[in-house]
């Protein structure tokens, strides 16, 4: 019995894993976003975050919420993101925030956009 090499399947598996999800996370923050253009989607996400986390809100609560919504959070950089791909191009959501001296939210901003095509 001869076994075929597995390297083509292994390469394909790693390539697909790098692509990320094929859709936005199925979470409340993103309800209705997928059916909009990038400008409308950005406005929707930004509005939801700014309503839920107005100026003076606790930074920790925002970071925790973003993690619950499926974003990867970088607390040191004060940004969170999720990227999903539709070969060959992809889309992403990025959230950035600033804080005041007491680590309360000063601003929250969001961007829903494409990731560019190769």
> pLDDT of 31-43, one tens digit each?
999 888 899 999 9
* Assigned domain for 93 exists: yes
Distance (Å, rounded) from C-alpha 27 to C-alpha 67? 11
Domain that holds residue 100: 7-114
Q: Is residue 1 part of a domain?
A: no
Flag whether 2 is in a domain. no
Structural domains counted in the chain: 1
What DSSP assignment string belongs to 44-96? HHHHHHHHHS-TT-BHHHHHHHHHHTT-EEETTTTEEEEEEEETTEEEEEEEE
Mind listing the pLDDT tens digit for each residue in 49-72? 999 999 999 999 999 999 999 999
Kindly report, residue by residue over 42-55, the tens digit of the pLDDT.
Answer: 999 999 999 999 99
């Amino acid at each position: 019995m001869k076994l075929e090499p597995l390297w083509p399947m292994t390469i394909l598996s790693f390539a697909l894993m790098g692509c990320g999800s094929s859709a936005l996370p199925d979470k409340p923050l993103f309800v209705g976003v997928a059916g909009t253009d990038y400008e409308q989607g950005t406005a929707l996400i930004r509005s939801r975050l700014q309503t839920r986390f107005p100026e003076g809100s606790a930074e920790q609560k925002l970071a925790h919420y973003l993690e619950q919504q499926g974003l990867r959070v970088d607390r040191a950089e004060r940004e969170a993101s999720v990227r999903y791909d539709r070969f060959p191009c992809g889309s992403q959501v990025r959230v950035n925030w600033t804080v005041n001296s007491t680590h309360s939210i000063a601003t929250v901003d969001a961007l829903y956009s494409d990731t560019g095509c190769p």
